[in-house]
Structure 1
Amino acid sequence: MEELISYLLQFGHFNQKQIDLVKAKAEERFLPQGEYFSEAGKIAKHIAFVQEGVLMICYYNNKGEEIVHHFVDENHFVVDLESFNHKISSMIYIRAVTDCKLVSFTFESFKELSGIIMDWDKIINKITIKTLLDKVNVEQPKLHTDAKTRYLDFLKNFPNLANRIPLVHIASYLGITASSLSRIRKNIR
């Protein structure tokens, strides 16, 4: 729980009562590897802060193949924001790639914090903007590079993920086959 508070304090100030309120509204939760945090076709009812572990945001193409959109690791929030905020069916899956320890909020408890803590929405907005900008900065260069460069960029941008995520998921994220990724890895050693 302290990791969440430290993270939030990077974006704004809370007094002790507000910190206690955030802790009271949060629930520590364990999500085993392979389990879904959120599923397509359902409304996202929780937002969580990742204390430990890695989750992936993915969807299935028309051939039924799992396509990894991105990964979420420690010290980041995970949610299908559109589904969560607007109470609409999700278009994506969020699944644990590793065992995960999360600090989770229900929609109701998150909104309650918004109504009680004056700067809550401002702080959450800053976090959302930072997250989106970080994602754009990682995704943008990926669009115009070859597979080897995408993999090297992945290693540079996510050095602590490469040994924690199965190669098949990394390959999907990079938009290549697992066998192509194996060849690339073999050639750069």
Structure 2
Amino acid sequence: MEAMINLILQFGDLNKQQIDFLLSKVEMLEFKKDDYLSEAGKVPRYVAFVLEGVFRFCYYNNKGEEVTNYFVEEGNFVVDNEKFESQIAASEYVQAVTDCKVLVFNKKDWDEISNTIVGWEMMKANMVKKCLTLAMERRSPLVSEDATTRYLSFIEAFPKLINRIPLSYVASYLGITQQSLSRIRRNIR
């Protein structure tokens, strides 16, 4: 819980009473590998802070192929934010890539925090902005670089993930086949 509070405090100040209130609204959940935190076609139920494990955002393209869009690891919030806030059905999945332990807030409690803690909306907006900026920084090179450079960029962006997640997810994220990824990995060793 300390890691979550430390992250939140990067975006504004909270006193002890506000922190205690925040912590009173959180629940710990565990997800097994391949479980869904959020599913396409369903309204996301939680904002989660990842204590242990890795999640991925994925969807199915118009050819029915699974595409990994993003990864979220320990020390970060994971949520389909726009759909959660609007309480509308998600268009992608948020899936546990490993066994995961998370702290979650449901929508009612998340809204209660916003209505109780002065300045929370601004802190929340700044957290979302930072997450979106980071996602863009990690995704934008994937559009213009060759596959080897994209793989090296992936290792730089997610240094702790390469040995924790299936290579099929990495290949999907990079927009290449698993065979191409294996060839690239062989060539750079």
Compute the TM-score of the two structures, normalised by the length of structure 1: 0.98
Alignment of 1:37-48 (within 5 A): 37-48=37-48
- CA shift at 1:16, angstroms? 0.7
| RMSD of aligned Cα (Å) | 0.8
- CA shift at 1:12, angstroms? 1.0
> 1-side partners of 2:87 and 2:11: how far apart?
26
Alignment of 1:1-189 (within 5 A): 1-189=1-189
- CA shift at 1:136, angstroms? 1.1
What's the secondary structure of 1:10's corresponding residue?
Answer: helix
> 1-side partners of 2:83 and 2:135: how far apart?
19
Partner amino acid, structure 2, of 1:94:
V
- CA shift at 1:55, angstroms? 0.2
Partner amino acid, structure 1, of 2:58:
C
> 1-side partners of 2:36 and 2:135: how far apart?
22
The runs of 4+ residues in structure 1 deviating greater than 4 Å are none
- CA shift at 1:156, angstroms? 1.0
What's the secondary structure of 1:143's corresponding residue?
Answer: helix
Gaps of 5+ in 2: none
> 1-side partners of 2:3 and 2:10: how far apart?
11
What's the secondary structure of 2:144's corresponding residue?
Answer: coil
Which string of whole-angstrom CA distances, capped at 9 and with x for unpartnered residues, describes residues 25-48 of structure 1? Answer: 000111111100000000112110
Which string of whole-angstrom CA distances, capped at 9 and with x for unpartnered residues, describes residues 40-69 of structure 1? Answer: 000112110111110000001233221000
Moved more, 2-11 or 89-98: 2-11
Q: Identity of aligned pairs, percent?
A: 48
Gaps of 5+ in 1: none
> 2-side partners of 1:9 and 1:88: how far apart?
29
> 2-side partners of 1:174 and 1:72: how far apart?
15
> 2-side partners of 1:132 and 1:61: how far apart?
22
Aligned residue-pair number? 189
What's the secondary structure of 2:104's corresponding residue?
Answer: strand
> 1-side partners of 2:83 and 2:126: how far apart?
20
Partner amino acid, structure 2, of 1:147:
A
Partner amino acid, structure 2, of 1:42:
K
Which string of whole-angstrom CA distances, capped at 9 and with x for unpartnered residues, describes residues 46-95 of structure 1? Answer: 11011111000000123322100010111111111121111111100000
